[in-house]
Amino acid sequence: MNSGESLEEAIKAEAARLGFAQCGFTRVDAVEGAGREVRRWIEAGRHGTMGWMETRSHHRVSPTALWPEARSAVALAMSYAPAADPRALADRPDIGRVSVYAQGGDYHKTVKKALKALARFIVERAPSELKVFVDTAPVMEKPLAQAAGLGWQGKHTNLVSREHGNWLFLGIILTSLDLQPDAPAEQGLHCGSCTRCLDACPTQAFDGPHRIDARRCISYLTIEHDGPIPPEFRDSIGNRIYGCDDCLAACPWNRFAEAAAANRAFLPRAELAAPRLADLLDLNDAGFREMFAGSPIKRIGRNRMIRNCLIAAGNSADRALLPSVNRHCADPDPVVAEAAGWARDHLVASTAETQVARSVSAPDGSRASECVTRVTPGPVAGG
Q: Which of 219, 295, 324, 326 binds ligand B12 (CB under 6 A)?
A: 219
Please tell me what DSSP assigns to residue 275: -
For residues 185 and 166, give the distance between their C-alpha atoms in angstroms, rounded to a whole number.
Answer: 15
Single out the segment in contact with ligand B12 by CB under 6 A; choices: 120-128, 135-143, 280-288, 369-377. Answer: 135-143
- In angstroms, how far is the first alpha carbon of the chain from the final one? 66
- The answer to whether 140 and 34 are in contact (CB under 8 A) is yes
> Helix crossing, 334-349 with 368-375: angle to 10°?
70
Tell me the three-class secondary structure of 151-191, residue by residue. Answer: CEECCCCCEEECCCECCEEEEEEEECCCCCCCCCCCCCCCC
Nearest to ligand SF4 of 176, 195 (CB atom): 195
Nearest to ligand SF4 of 220, 288 (CB atom): 220
Residue 194, interface with ligand SF4 (CB under 6 A)? yes
Spot the catalytic one: 85, 91, 135, 246: 135
How many residues touch ligand SF4 (CB under 6 A)?
A: 25
Nearest to ligand SF4 of 118, 300 (CB atom): 300
- Nearest to ligand SF4 by Cβ — which residue? 154
Single out the segment in contact with ligand SF4 by CB under 6 A; choices: 245-253, 277-285, 301-309, 373-381. Answer: 245-253
Residue 93 host element (H or E): none
Residue 143, interface with ligand B12 (CB under 6 A)? yes
Q: Among this protein's residues, is 85 annotated catalytic? A: no
- Residue among 344, 281, 334, 337 nearest 314 (CA): 344
Please tell me what DSSP assigns to residue 301: H
For residues 186 and 184, give the distance between their C-alpha atoms in angstroms, rounded to a whole number.
Answer: 7
Nearest to ligand SF4 of 180, 204 (CB atom): 204
Cβ within 8 Å of residue 334, ≥6 positions away: none
Residues at the interface with ligand B12 (CB under 6 A) = 34, 37-38, 41, 53, 99, 101, 134-135, 139-143, 156-159, 166, 168-170, 187, 210-212, 214, 217, 219-220, 224, 243-245, 247-248
Residues at the interface with ligand SF4 (CB under 6 A) = 154-156, 160, 191, 194-197, 200-203, 205, 212, 217-219, 244, 246-247, 250-253
